[in-house]
Each structure stands twice: as C-alpha cells, then as structure tokens.
Amino acid sequence: MELVVVGLPGSGKTAVGRRVASRHGAAFVDLDEEIERAAGRRIPEVFEAEGEAGFRRRERDAIEALGSPDAGPRLTRVIAPGGGAIVDSRNRWRLFRGRRTAWLDVRTEVLAQRLRRSPNVRPLIVGRDPMGAIRDLSVSRHRFYAAATRVAGIAEMGSVIDAVDRTLVGAAASGTVLLRAETRIGRIVIGEDVLAAEVATALQDLAARRAILVSEPGAWAAVGEGLASSLAAGGLPVEHVLLSQGEAAKRLSVIEDAADALSRLRVERREPIVVVGGGALGDAAGFLAATYLRGIPFIQVPTTLVAQIDASIGGKTAVDLPAGKNLVGAFHQPAAIVIDIAVLGSLDVRQRRAALGEAAKMAALGDEKLFATLEADGAAIAAGDTAATASGALAEVVERAAWAKVEVVLADEHETAGRIGLNLGHTLGHAIEAAAGFGGLLHGEAVAYGLRAAARIGEARGVTPAARARRIERLLDALELGMSPTGLDRNEVLGFMATDKKHAGRALRWVLPTADGYAIDAEVPDELVAEVAAGVLAGRS
C-alpha cells in the first residue's frame, strides 16, 4: 500500500508524511527533494533558471519515476508532492491511481502564519501578501485536493498523524477520484471506477431511502444494470424506469409515460432520481425531474463522451417538438454530476470521435493544454485505444473540457448572454445538422465542419491568425472530423442559417477564433460565408 499526502504550501505534508512513514517503517519520498537532487539546485533556483514551465517538467518526470504503486497490504511508501503538482491532470492520474490519498486541509489563516515563519522560499508566494496568495491558491486548487480523503480541522501534529493513519484502515476504494467540486450547479465528481460509490454518497446526502434509476435500453445495458446491482449490494432498494433510446427519448409522450411510472412508484417531492445515459437521455430525464411534482432532485450519470463533457453540465433540460429540437424545456440543475470515464469503454468509435468535435471547440476557445493533449492523443482517444485511457489522456480531455463548460455555466447560469463562446462552430454547424436531417450527422460531426468554417472566415476577416487557423484544421484532420464531402446543397444549408438569423431578429453573430480565445463578428459578409460554406461542405481540408 502507498499513500500520497497533498495540501497547500505549509499544510505540513512533509512533516506529517515523514512521521506516518516512520511509524509504519515505510519509505518517505519528498518530491521537491527528488526534483532538487535531479536538478542539482534548490527549487527557487530551478524557477529562476528554467521558469515555472521548467520546474513543472521536472516535477512530471519525478512523478513518472515513482513507477507503479505497491498494492500489498502493508504501507511501504509515503509520497509528498509539492502543493502545485496535482493541478496537472496527468500528475494526479499517476499519483492517485492505486494509492491511498490524504488531503491536509488546513485553514488559510493558519497556513499564512506558518508561511510567514517558514525559512523555505515558496516561489509562488514570495513577494506577495501571504494570506491573499494562499487564499487564491486554495480557491484555484480546491477541486484537486478535494479528490483526496480529507483530513481537516486538526492543529496538533500527533492528532493529524493519527487521522492520516485512519485513512489507511479498511478496504481500498476500487476507483480513483480525480476531481471533486461543490458548486452552485451541483457537486461535480470526475474519476475512474467511482460510479457506484459516488452515486451512493450523493443519494445518502439527499437522504434517499431507495435508488430510482432512469435510463434507456442502450445505457442501461452498458452501465445502468451494473450500477443497479452495486447499489443493491450496498443495501439500497433499487427501482428503474426506462425511456426510449436515442433522440426518441426527447418526446413529450415519453415524458408522460415516465411520469406515470414515477407516480406508480409513489416518488415524492424530495426523492431524487438517478439519470443514467447520454445527452439525449439526460435532456429528457432531466426534463422529467424538472417537471414531475414541479421539480424533484436528480443525479446525473453521463455515460457518453458528449454527455460527460457537455450535455450533463449546465442544467439545460429539454424535449423536442415536430417543429424543432429542444423547443420545450427548463433549467434544472442536478444535485450531483458523477462523471466516470470507465463507462466510456463500451462507446462506439463514431460517438467518441464526434464528441471530440466539441472538445476541439473548447480547445480552440483558448485552452492550450487541451489543444496540446488533443493533438498528441486525440486520434487514439477517438479510436478507443486503451493506451489513451491508461496514460490519463482521456481523463485529461474529459476533465478539461467538462471544467471549461462548468466555468462558462457558472459565469452565466441562465444563459442571459447566450454563453456565446460555446457557439463557436455552431453557426454553420447547426445549419449543417438541420440540412442533413437531425440524425444524419452527429452533432459533434456537424460542429467540426462549422469549426473549420469559423477558422476560415476568421482568417479572411483578419481575426484568426493564419497559423491558428491551420492548427485548428490540422487538429480536425488528425481527429478525422469534417473531412468527407457532406453531399449537402449549399443553398439549403444557407437557408437554414437564414432561418436562424430571422429567429434571432438580427445579423448572425459569428464566434471566431483568435490567437488564444475568440472574438464576435456581426458583420461577416454573406458572400464570404457562402464561399467558405461551399468549401467546407465539399470536404476540402
């Protein structure tokens, strides 16, 4: 067994880790010391000579050099990484998987006091007001530390060590939590093999006396049934209601039947349902939760990549009408969203690839890290290559894309400003999707064509630097998205765009990529749109 001790600078990781290790006759690894040894200089000097990027490279190497964890029953190694090591998703993946974790959660006032007295120079804090610096770090890193088992509120060293010791007792959790955040739009947990445990915890927090799973045949076979057995094995009575599979779930008649089923189960006002499925099921069952008894709590268990990085986040629920998609709906935030990347294993390649169209959009909006990961590993993720899961690349893409959506939603929960950046690639994308007949192209596939169009229009308008436009298109090439001729008629596609414009009652506001973000352009000439659309629809890369 191995233990990783994490926490903010000054939280006592080294002192506590060393004492716990010695109590068990285990080895102790202070990662900062390892880095200093490898670099042949002190950490402030590494920062000075190589910058933070150089330091972080060394930190990644040191974590990689730890190798695989010892899975035996005795504690053999305690690892204390630097406070910032776990910000990087890959580092967390490598450190937390197969190891026990403890987060020393110490109050910021106490930390600031300790840091003022400390002889160690902390490069990210030095020269700043320690209290403010610590508070900033605490906010920006909380979700990463909170993935570990919390040890809080203890000042005295001996008691802290006892408390950390207690985290070693009992069976190891089967999976790995990578991120945990309590937000205004619900608890968000991301991990691997964490589904049953996290759903059980969320149900317990909602004082549920049973688990009512709402799913559809595809997601039920892939994920729901297994989840139901695990929850039942944990002693919870389990019920389930199945809606239709795919977009067919998003119909009012389906909601009526499902609401009937809930009333037969005598589901009450405060009783949560657990929504297990992709984006279509989530939209429909979310709408059911929003309207049954004027709203009951629900837990989202997104089972497709689209749902994990997009649809399950934001509280938008809806069903379709013959006149169009998502015409009847409500904002209803889930109590918790449990994102388990292990459920993606059964997803078909086309679904996976299409979802990466949305991830590419998030990257193009200015997430450089996500961009680089998609460039390096996107093709392998799309192909369902297990190496891309084992390396932590899939987890990184899910985490970054999902969190980017969380931040956009937190900034504008009810879409007063239209969450406009998220529309990158959607102006033409929606029109293509509509022209293909919904279901002809997957949403992410249509967005990829739209993203290419936005890059080309952006370049022509002098908004997108040529190199950035090339880079976006190269990424889409590597993901094999938006490449083949669509066979769609340009005028028909432009016709759908004109309808959108009429609905908006004003000129289309194009979201165009810049060097590191996006800009809005409401004056893109129709001729340019027509010319670019022709090229994109013909599948020329």
Ligand X SMILES: NC(=O)c1ccc[n+]([C@@H]2O[C@H](COP(=O)([O-])OP(=O)(O)OC[C@H]3O[C@@H](n4cnc5c(N)ncnc54)[C@H](O)[C@@H]3O)[C@@H](O)[C@H]2O)c1
Of the pair 59, 445, the CB lying nearest ligand X is at 445
Q: Which is closer to ligand X, CB of 30 or CB of 283?
A: 283
Q: Is 307 in the site for ligand X (CB under 6 A)?
A: yes
Nearer to ligand X, 89 or 303 (CB): 303
Q: 3-state class of 441 per DSSP?
A: strand
Q: Which is nearer to ligand X, 299 or 307 (CB)?
A: 307
- Asked if 245 is part of the footprint of ligand X (rule: CB under 6 A), the reply reads yes
Please list, in sequence order, all residues whose beta carbon lies within 8 angstroms of the beta carbon of residue 537, skipping any fewer than 6 positions away.
Answer: 432, 449, 485, 486, 488, 490, 493
Given the complex with ligand X, which of 214 and 524 has the nearer CB atom?
Answer: 214
φ/ψ region of 346 (left if φ > 0, alpha if ψ in -120 to 50, else beta) reads alpha
Residues with Cβ within 8 Å of 196's Cβ and at least 6 positions away in sequence, in order, are 227, 230, 231, 234
What is the smallest separation between the CB atom of 257 and ligand X, expressed in angstroms? 17
Is residue 389 part of the contact set for ligand X (CB under 6 A)?
no
At 131, list the tokens. 């209290």
- Give, for 386, the enclosing helix (H) or strand (E): helix 386-390
Q: Which of 12, 69, 81, 314 binds ligand X (CB under 6 A)?
A: 314
**Contact between 265 and ligand X per CB under 6 A:** no
Query: ∠ at Cα 193 (191, 194), nearest 5°?
Result: 65
Q: Does 218 bind ligand X (CB under 6 A)?
A: yes
Between 310 and 377, whose beta carbon lies closer to ligand X?
Answer: 310
Side chain identity, residue 336: A
* DSSP calls for 147-216: TSEEEES--SHHHHHHHHHHTTSSPPPSSEEEEEEEETTEEEEEEES-HHHHHHHHHHHTT-SSEEEEE-
User: Judged by CB under 6 A, which of 191, 277, 357, 458 binds ligand X?
Assistant: 277
Residues 423-482 that bind ligand X (CB under 6 A): 443
CA distances from 269 to 108, 184, 213, 319 (A): 39, 21, 16, 22
Confirm or reject binding of residue 278 to ligand X (CB under 6 A).
yes
Give whole-number Cα distances, 504 to 287, 499, 507, 509, 511, in Å: 25, 9, 8, 10, 15
Taking CB under 6 A as the binding criterion, the range among 48-56, 298-306, 388-396, 415-423 that sits at the site for ligand X is 298-306
Name which of 509, 307, 279, 331 is nearest 401 in CA terms: 307
CB of 345 to ligand X, least distance (A): 8
Confirm or reject binding of residue 226 to ligand X (CB under 6 A). no
> Residue 421, interface with ligand X (CB under 6 A)?
no
Task: Single out the residue of 27, 168, 330, 347 in contact with ligand X (rule: CB under 6 A).
Answer: 347
Identify the residue among 43, 80, 288, 306 touching ligand X (CB under 6 A): 306
Say which residue the tokens 């309808």 belong to.
499
| Residues contacting ligand X: total by CB under 6 A | 29
Interface residues toward ligand X, by CB under 6 A: 216, 218-219, 222-223, 245-247, 250, 277-281, 283, 303-304, 306-307, 310-311, 314, 316, 325, 343, 346-347, 351, 443
